[in-house]
């Protein structure tokens, strides 16, 4: 029998010794816990006794100015109206009087089609008309005397009217051999040359009316209620030409594919310097409102992802959601900040809404003051 076995049996016979050891261990553990608690309390007291260090932020006072809220769109210039002239009679082109790309006036001759036998047909029909008139008068006289019935009288009248209709058709065909411009514009394309044979319905020329010039664009569902016919619009084309126009048309039905509404801006083009088919930016002035201009670098996000700016009021950081109404190359215009706001310009990334800070105000630069005054 080993020494360990003897010790184990000796302890089993004396359980009060085991209980005493466990009690001593419990007392030691509880004493260490109270000492740790007292140490923690003393540390808390020391930390409370020390003054809290406030973060320093640089703050600048921004003042609001009255500006126009704008809607920026991308559009394309188009003619006010376009028409394709077509031949209404068949024949050979015997004369072309308008050049491609030239300006034409309403009623100007574009081309002429050969008359062929139309004049002779007209002469024959006019001679036949005199015969039909005599026959109709005779039928009326005989009908009154009772020698001819109503059927013969109606037949004579029908023959007379048929000749009159034929004369009108021939006169119209002769008139249609001369192709004229239906309105003033630019002869953009001419499809025929002298000697070409055209049938009824063949293309002769395409004329575009560029005065006024139209800029077509599309607005979203959120923008449609902000615009109205008659509003002014600025247009900047990609070839760096600028123009001012007026909103003349707003679609009442949205496009099924894009859920956008077509609009048209009318631009005067008396000198014909603006061309159709150019892309450009359209800016529509909606309404005037107070706004503050800041650098985009001053924008921040709150915990919910809302965009806004951090400002200081009575040494407390505030987060204010904003609405961007206009963007420029040197800054953005915001609403929602009131007429004046002390915005944090340096250190905003280290503070949150509700923090107490030490605000260091910066004097606004002369450029900012002049810019606000000019607005």
pLDDT by position in tens, the chain (length 375): 555 555 556 656 666 666 667 776 777 767 665 555 555 555 454 445 445 567 888 888 888 888 888 888 999 999 999 999 999 999 999 999 999 989 999 999 999 999 989 999 999 999 999 998 998 888 888 888 777 778 888 888 899 999 999 999 999 999 999 999 999 999 999 999 999 999 999 999 999 999 999 999 999 998 899 899 999 999 999 888 899 999 999 999 999 999 999 999 999 998 888 999 999 999 998 888 888 888 888 888 888 888 888 888 888 888 988 888 887 888 888 888 888 888 888 887 888 888 888 888 876 544 444 444 444
**Residue 15: what pLDDT?**
66
Q: Which fold has domain 72-78+209-287?
A: Elongation Factor Tu (Ef-tu); domain 3 (2.40.30)
Output DSSP code: residue 225: G
Q: What is the residue whose two structure tokens read 């063949």?
A: 202
Residue-level pLDDT at 47: 47
Total Cβ atoms within 10 A of residue 93: 20
Six-digit token pair at 99?
């050049």
3-class DSSP string for 24-84: HHHHHHHHHHHHHHHHHHHHHHHHHHCCCCCEEEEEEEEECEEEEEEEEEEEEEEEEEEEE
Beta strands in the chain (DSSP E): 55-63, 65-86, 91-96, 103-104, 109-113, 178-180, 185-190, 197-198, 203-219, 232-237, 242-250, 261-267, 279-294, 300-301, 307-313, 316-321, 323-328, 331-335, 340-346, 357-362
- Contacts of residue 12, Cβ cutoff 8 Å, sequence gap at least 6: none
Exposure b/e, 341-367, CB count within 10 A at least 16 = b:
bbbbbebbeebeeebebebeeeeeeee
Ordered DSSP codes for 282-301? EEEEEEEEEEEEE-GGG-EE
CB atoms near residue 80 (< 10 Å): 19
In this structure, how many other beta carbons lie within 10 angstroms of the beta carbon of residue 211? Answer: 17
In the prediction, which pLDDT does 354 show?
A: 85
pLDDT for 7: 56
CATH tag, 83-205: 2.40.50.100
- The CA distance from 375 to 367, in Å, is 12
Rg (CA), the chain: 47
Question: Of 253, 257, 258, 332, nearest to 299 (Cα)?
Answer: 332
**Residues 6 or more apart in contact with residue 154 via CB below 8 angstroms:** none
Query: Tell me, what's the pLDDT at 5?
Result: 55
pLDDT recorded at residue 205:
95
In this prediction, residue 215 carries a pLDDT of 95
Listed by start position, the domains of the chain span 3-46, 55-67+289-374, 72-78+209-287, 83-205
Given this model, what pLDDT does residue 365 score?
A: 45
- What CATH architecture does domain 55-67+289-374 belong to? Beta Barrel (2.40)
């Amino acid at each position: 029998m080993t020494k360990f076995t003897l010790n184990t049996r000796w302890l089993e016979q004396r359980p009060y010794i085991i209980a005493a050891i466990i009690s001593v261990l419990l007392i030691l553990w509880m004493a260490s816990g109270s000492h740790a608690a007292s140490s923690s309390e003393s540390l808390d007291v020391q930390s409370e006794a020390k003054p809290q260090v406030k973060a320093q932020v640089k703050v600048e006072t921004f003042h609001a100015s009255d500006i126009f809220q704008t809607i920026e769109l991308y559009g394309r210039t188009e003619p006010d109206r376009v028409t394709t002239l077509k031949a209404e009679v068949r024949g050979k082109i015997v004369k072309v009087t308008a050049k491609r790309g030239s300006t034409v006036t309403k009623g100007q001759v574009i081309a002429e089609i050969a008359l062929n036998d139309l004049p002779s047909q007209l002469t024959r029909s006019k001679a036949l008309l005199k015969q039909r008139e005599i026959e109709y008068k005779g039928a009326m006289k005989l009908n009154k005397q009772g020698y001819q019935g109503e059927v013969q009288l109606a037949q004579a009248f029908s023959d007379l009217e048929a000749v009159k209709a034929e004369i009108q058709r021939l006169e119209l065909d002769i008139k249609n051999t001369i192709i004229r411009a239906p309105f003033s514009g630019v002869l953009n394309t001419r499809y025929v040359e002298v000697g070409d044979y055209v049938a009824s319905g063949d293309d002769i020329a395409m004329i575009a009316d560029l005065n006024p010039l139209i800029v077509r664009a599309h607005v979203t569902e959120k923008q449609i209620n902000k615009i109205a016919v008659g509003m002014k619009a600025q247009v900047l084309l990609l070839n760096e030409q600028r123009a001012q126009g007026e909103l003349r048309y707003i679609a009442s039905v949205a496009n099924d594919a894009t859920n956008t509404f077509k609009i048209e801006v009318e631009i005067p083009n008396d000198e014909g310097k603006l061309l159709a088919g150019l892309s450009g930016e359209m800016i529509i002035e909606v309404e005037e409102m107070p706004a503050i201009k800041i650098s985009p670098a001053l924008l921040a996000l709150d915990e919910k992802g809302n965009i806004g700016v951090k400002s200081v009021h009575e040494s407390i950081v505030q987060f204010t959601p904003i609405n961007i109404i206009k963007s420029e190359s040197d800054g953005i215009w915001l609403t929602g900040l009131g007429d004046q706001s002390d915005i944090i310009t340096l250190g905003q990334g280290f503070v949150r809404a509700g923090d107490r800070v030490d605000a260091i105000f910066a004097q606004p630069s002369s450029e900012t003051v002049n810019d606000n005054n000019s607005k």
